[in-house]
């Protein structure tokens, strides 16, 4: 294989000493207050030195690096949604997490947005006291069990898992699919239809209870570190106190689902920062025809396109953060952000992998890994098509769903 960089070449020596512009070239992070900006930089350095270099082999093997969870906790990434920080800071932290690895960003994001945040806001005092201390430190992990084998985009109307009130408490029956962290989580926040009033309610179901079966979903093209699972609940009995009091109808959790969709928008932006980092790094070091490929016009155009996509995505998400601070986030806004940034991430990932040439198909260079992960972002938390139709309904007043 030809050398990545001939440091004896005068141009190669020069390139090694260049200070390159940050991928956030329009300085979105400068909108943060100084304390948040300083902490974001610390998180960035931690993720780029301790996390990103160590996850590739786990991705190849479809394994979660459990040994990295304590370090994530020490960096405060287990309690983002419990801190008094700005929405922009939280979003940029999620972007930095994705910049380092999409799978771990999914774990951290779901943990905060849909587990910690929901229990903190909608749970009982007893549930908060029992679970939040361990969740803060990743000593406990929960999973969000909503999607089912037969219902994804139409889950609100098609959810078939049932909860029957009995003298012993609640009896849960049903199946869930694509549940992130479902293979090892301590509990699930499970959504089931109350057989009495047909309302969809949320329950905390410890996954070591009799009647719970969990099976890892393997051979995924992306998000390979995240352990997705099929969960089966066969007459699983939980006590009355396991119902989440603030989530006694599906409408109660709409704000969390909306925020979660916006969070994936930050993932789309953060992934593109990572793509730009690795594509530029490769382009300035890889020599062909006696010079770095960064001197080739076609390569420079692709790098500029990736940076433009990333900058547009960050700017969109910064505005979404402002809307969230004003408590005005609505599903069409979140759907537009998620569909746009993940569409651009898909384009940026293809351009980045192309810059890598033959080496671009090897996961050791990260570019093919990020291209595969981009496909997952494009699909989960509402596919691109579904999110586009949510926006379409909002701007035309006509629904394409029915």
Strand positions, DSSP E, 46-154 = 142-145
**Residue-level pLDDT at 21:** 82
Does residue 208 sit within a domain?
A: yes
pLDDT at 382: 86
Which residue among 221, 248, 275 closes a domain? Answer: 248
User: Are residues 353 and 261 part of one domain?
Assistant: yes
Residue 8: pLDDT band (50, 70, 90) is: very low
The DSSP bridge partners found for residue 151 are 148
The verdict on 229 and 290 lying in the same domain is no
pLDDT in tens, 269-291: 999 999 999 999 999 999 999 99
CA–CA separation, 141 and 188 (whole Å) = 9
Decide if 226 is inside a domain.
yes
Residue 311 lies in a domain: yes
Say how far apart CA 368 and CA 76 lie, in whole Å: 29
**Confidence band (pLDDT; 50, 70, 90) for 156?**
confident
Q: How confident is the model at residue 250 (pLDDT cuts 50, 70, 90)?
A: confident
Domain presence at residue 5: no
Tell me: the pLDDT tens digits for 54-78?
999 999 999 999 999 999 999 999 9
Judged against a pLDDT cut of 90, whether residue 13 lies above it is answered with no
Q: What helix, strand, coil percent values describe the chain, rounded to 5?
A: 55, 15, 30
How far apart (Å, rounded) are the C-alpha atoms in residues 186 and 205? 9
List the CATH number of the domain containing 225: 2.40.110.10
* pLDDT of 136 over the 90 cut: yes
Confidence of residue 254 (pLDDT cuts 50, 70, 90): confident
Q: Looking at residues 315-324, what average pLDDT do you find?
A: 96
Residue 188 sits in the same domain as residue 52: no
Share of the chain above pLDDT 70, in %: 96
pLDDT tens per residue across span 84-115: 999 999 999 999 999 999 999 999 999 999 99
Q: What is the pLDDT of residues 346-399, one digit of tens each?
A: 999 999 999 999 999 999 999 999 999 999 999 998 899 999 999 999 999 999
How far is Cα 22 from Cα 15, in angstroms, rounded to an integer? 16
Answer whether residue 128 is part of any domain.
Answer: no
Residue 5 has pLDDT above 60, yes or no: no
Residue 301 has pLDDT above 70, yes or no: yes
Share above pLDDT 90 across residues of the chain, in percent, rounded to a whole number:
86
Phi, psi for residue 166 in degrees, rounded to 5: -130, 180
Looking at 121-125, 149-153, 233-237, 372-376, which range is the least confident one? 149-153
Helix (H) or strand (E) holding 261: helix 254-285
Residues 242 and 287 in one domain: no
Return the minimum-mean-pLDDT range out of 2-16, 257-271, 339-353.
2-16
User: Which two three-digit tokens encode residue 79?
Assistant: 């309690």
Picking from 30-34, 155-159, 163-167, 306-310, which range would have the lowest pLDDT averaged per residue? 155-159
Distance CA 357, CA 204 (A): 48
Examine the fold and report which residue of 248, 269, 303 is the final residue of a domain before the chain moves on: 248
pLDDT averaged over every residue in the chain: 92
pLDDT given for residue 18 in this prediction: 66
Same domain, 82 and 201: no
Same domain, 389 and 256: yes
CB atoms within 10 A of CB 316: 19
Same domain, 27 and 150: no
Is residue 133 included in any domain, yes or no? no
Q: Are 218 and 62 in contact (CB under 8 A)?
A: yes
- Domain boundary, last residue among 196, 213, 248: 248
Name the token pair of 336.
């537009």
Q: Which pLDDT does position 117 carry in this prediction?
A: 94
Within a domain: 383: yes
Whether 180 and 214 have beta carbons less than 8 Å apart is answered as no
CATH of residue 363's domain is 1.20.140.10
Q: Are residues 257 and 244 in the same domain?
A: no
Residue 145, SS3 per DSSP: strand
Tell me how far apart the alpha carbons of residues 36 and 90 are, in angstroms, rounded to a whole number. 9
Q: What is the mean pLDDT of residues 339-343?
A: 97
| Helix 102-110 and helix 367-379, axial crossing angle in degrees, nearest 10 | 40
Place of tokens 């179901």: 205
Report residue 170: phi and psi, to 5°.
-120, 140
In a domain, 135, yes or no: no
CA distance 74 to 91: 19
| C-alpha closest to that of 40 among 233, 288, 48, 301 | 48
- Residue 158 banded pLDDT, cuts 50, 70, 90: confident
Q: How confident is the model at residue 4 (pLDDT cuts 50, 70, 90)?
A: very low
User: Is the domain of 364 the same as that of 317?
Assistant: yes
Entry pTM: 0.92
**76-85, 143-152, 213-222, 264-273, range with the lowest pLDDT:** 143-152
Confidence at 9, pLDDT banded by 50, 70, 90: very low
Number of domains in the chain: 3
Q: Are residues 265 and 381 in the same domain?
A: yes
pLDDT of residue 166: 94
DSSP assignment letter at 138 = T
For residues 17 and 22, which has the higher predicted lDDT (pLDDT)?
Answer: 22
CATH, residue 55: 1.10.540.10
Residues 292 and 330 in one domain: yes
Q: Specify whether 232 is located in the same domain as 256.
A: no
Range of the domain at 359: 252-396
pLDDT at 11: 43
Q: At 16, is the pLDDT very low, low, confident or very high (cuts 50, 70, 90)?
A: low
């Amino acid at each position: 294989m030809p050398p990545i960089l001939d440091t004896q070449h005068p141009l190669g020596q020069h390139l090694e000493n260049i200070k390159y512009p940050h991928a956030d070239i329009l300085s979105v992070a400068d909108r943060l207050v100084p304390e948040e900006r300083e902490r974001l930089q610390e998180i960035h350095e931690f993720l780029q030195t301790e996390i990103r270099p160590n996850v590739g082999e786990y991705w190849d093997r479809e394994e979660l690096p459990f040994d990295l969870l304590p370090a994530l906790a020490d960096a405060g990434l287990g309690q983002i949604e419990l801190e008094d920080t700005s929405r922009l800071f939280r979003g940029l932290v999620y972007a930095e997490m994705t910049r380092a690895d999409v799978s771990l960003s999914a774990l951290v994001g779901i943990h905060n947005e849909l587990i910690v945040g929901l229990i903190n806001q909608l749970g009982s005092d007893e549930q908060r006291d029992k679970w939040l201390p361990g969740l803060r430190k990743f000593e406990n992990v929960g999973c969000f069990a909503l999607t089912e084998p037969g219902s994804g985009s139409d889950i609100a109307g098609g959810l078939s898992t049932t909860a029957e009130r009995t003298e012993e408490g609640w009896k849960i029956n049903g199946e869930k699919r694509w549940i992130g962290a479902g293979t090892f989580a301590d509990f699930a926040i499970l959504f089931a239809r109350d057989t009495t009033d047909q309302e969809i309610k949320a329950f905390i179901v410890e996954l070591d209870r009799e009647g719970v079966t969990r099976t890892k979903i393997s051979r995924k093209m992306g998000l390979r570190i995240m352990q997705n699972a099929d969960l089966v609940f066969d007459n699983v009995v939980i006590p009355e106190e396991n119902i989440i009091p603030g989530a006694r109808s599906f409408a109660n959790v709409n704000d969390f689902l909306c925020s979660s969709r916006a969070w994936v928008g930050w993932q789309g932006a953060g992934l593109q920062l990572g793509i730009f980092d690795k594509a530029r790094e490769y382009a300035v070091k890889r020599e062909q025809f006696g010079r770095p490929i960064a001197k080739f016009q076609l390569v420079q155009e692709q790098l500029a396109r990736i940076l433009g996509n990333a900058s547009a995505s960050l700017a969109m998400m910064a505005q979404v953060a402002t809307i969230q601070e004003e408590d005005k986030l609505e599903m069409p806004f979140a759907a537009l952000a998620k569909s746009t940034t993940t569409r651009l991430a898909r384009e940026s990932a293809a351009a980045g992998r192309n810059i890598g040439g033959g080496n671009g198909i090897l996961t050791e260079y990260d570019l093919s890994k990020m291209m595969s992960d981009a496909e997952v972002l494009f699909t989960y938390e509402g596919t691109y098509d579904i999110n586009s139709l949510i926006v379409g309904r909002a701007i035309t007043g006509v629904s394409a769903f029915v």
